Amino acid sequence: MAATHMPMLHMICGKVAAGRSTFAARLAAAPGTIIIAQDSWRATLCPQEVRSHADYRRLLPRLRAVMGPHAAALLRVGLSVVLDWPASTVASRAWLRGIFEAAGAGHRLHVLDVPDALCLARLMARNATGTHAYTVNREELETLAGTFEPPTQAEGFDMVAHAGR
């Protein structure tokens, strides 16, 4: 009898420039796995709409309305999905929970525990290359870091911690 494959939704929790996209790309290299990267979709579909964090928050419900059902459909047909979307607040993780629950899929919340100084260094290096879809300055980084809510066991996720990446 062949073993059955449980499709998995991989979610990544970490501060800005913690290495979420790099980590997501590694996860997506597994067979039968696809990545959905928010920054790529947003930059292509809404290139002029996001100039500030307030713009992003206004656009987020539209993105979720499209991507949630899309990700759930991919899970239902047996693909594992790496969502390169911030899972950095309780509210964002609740939305993500709805995706894997709707699909009847497994899940894993990868928590990137990266020191603030390393995040800042990575951000400055990323900004210097000019290759990322969005540039975040130091002030925005600090503001966004203040909105970060580390996950707790009470949220009920299958969590895997990744320190210092």
pLDDT one-digit tens code per residue, 115-151: 878 887 887 787 676 665 566 666 776 666 678 899 9
The one-letter code for the residue type at 135 is T
pLDDT > 50? residue 3: no
Which H or E run contains 80?
Answer: strand 80-86
pLDDT score recorded for residue 73: 98
User: For the packed helices 53-76 and 38-45, what is the interaxial angle rounded to 10 degrees?
Assistant: 120
pLDDT one-digit tens code per residue, 30-51: 999 999 998 888 878 877 776 7
Task: Tell me the C-alpha distance between 109 and 140, whole Å.
Answer: 25
Average pLDDT, the chain: 86
Strand partners, 27: none
CA proximity to 36, closest of 20, 50, 52: 20
User: 9-163 — its CATH code?
Assistant: 3.40.50.300
